[in-house]
Amino acid sequence: MRHNSGGNVYNAALARELAALGADVETCPLDGGWPVGSAEDRRLLAGLLSDDGDDDGGASGSTAGHKVTIVDGLLACGAPEELAAAAAAGRPAWILLHMPLDDTGQDGAGLERRALRAAAGVICTSTSAAARIRARHGLHGILVALPGTDSAALALGSEPPHLLAVAALLPNKDQSLLLAALSALTDLPWTASLIGSDTADPAYAAKLRDAVTRLGLEGRVRIPGELRGGALEAEWAAADLSLLISQAETFGLVVTESIARGVPVVVRAGTGAVEALAAGTPPPTPTPTLSTTPTPEHGTAPPLPGTAVALGTDPAPLAEVLRRWLSNPSLRTRWRAAALDARDRLPGWDATARTVLEAVNPEHPAAPPSAAGE
Could you give the C-alpha distances from 186 to 215, 217, 250, 323, 329, in angstroms and in order?
10, 8, 32, 10, 18
- pLDDT of amino acid 362: 60
Same structural domain, 216 and 355: no
Distance CA 71, CA 51 (A): 13
Structure pTM? Answer: 0.84
Same structural domain, 90 and 233: no
- pLDDT of amino acid 302: 76
Same structural domain, 106 and 218: no
157 inside domain? no
3-state helix, strand, coil in the chain (%, to 5): 40, 15, 45
**Regions of the chain with pLDDT less than 70:** 1-4, 52-66, 103-107, 284-301, 362-374
Same structural domain, 102 and 215: no
Domain with residue 291: its CATH number is 3.40.50.2000
What does the buried/exposed string (b/e) look like for 109-130 if buried means 16 or more CB atoms within 10 Å of the residue's CB? eebbbbbbbbbbbbbbbbebbb
Distance CA 336, CA 342 (A): 10
Distance CA 76, CA 96 (A): 9
- pLDDT of amino acid 262: 98
- pLDDT of amino acid 288: 58
Same structural domain, 207 and 330: yes
Geometric angle at alpha carbon 300, from 294 and 302, rounded to 5°: 135
For the chain, the domain total comes to 2
- pLDDT of amino acid 65: 55
Could you give the C-alpha distances from 73 to 8, 36, 368, in angstroms and in order?
12, 11, 16
Could you give the C-alpha distances from 15 to 8, 87, 116, 237, 354, in angstroms and in order?
11, 23, 22, 28, 11
Same structural domain, 185 and 106: no
- 273 is in which domain, residue-wise? 162-343
- pLDDT of amino acid 366: 45
- pLDDT of amino acid 1: 43
Same structural domain, 211 and 139: no
Same structural domain, 339 and 353: no
Same structural domain, 93 and 180: no
Backbone angles phi, psi at 232, to 5 degrees: -70, -40
Would you say the C-alpha torsion 316, 238, 189, 331 has a positive or negative sign? positive
Same structural domain, 178 and 129: no
Same structural domain, 131 and 208: no
Got the DSSP string for 106-161? Answer: S-HHHHHHHHHHHSSEEEESSHHHHHHHHHHH-EE--EE--------PPP---SS-
155 inside domain? no
- pLDDT of amino acid 58: 46
Distance CA 252, CA 245 (A): 10
154 inside domain? no
153 inside domain? no
Same structural domain, 126 and 229: no
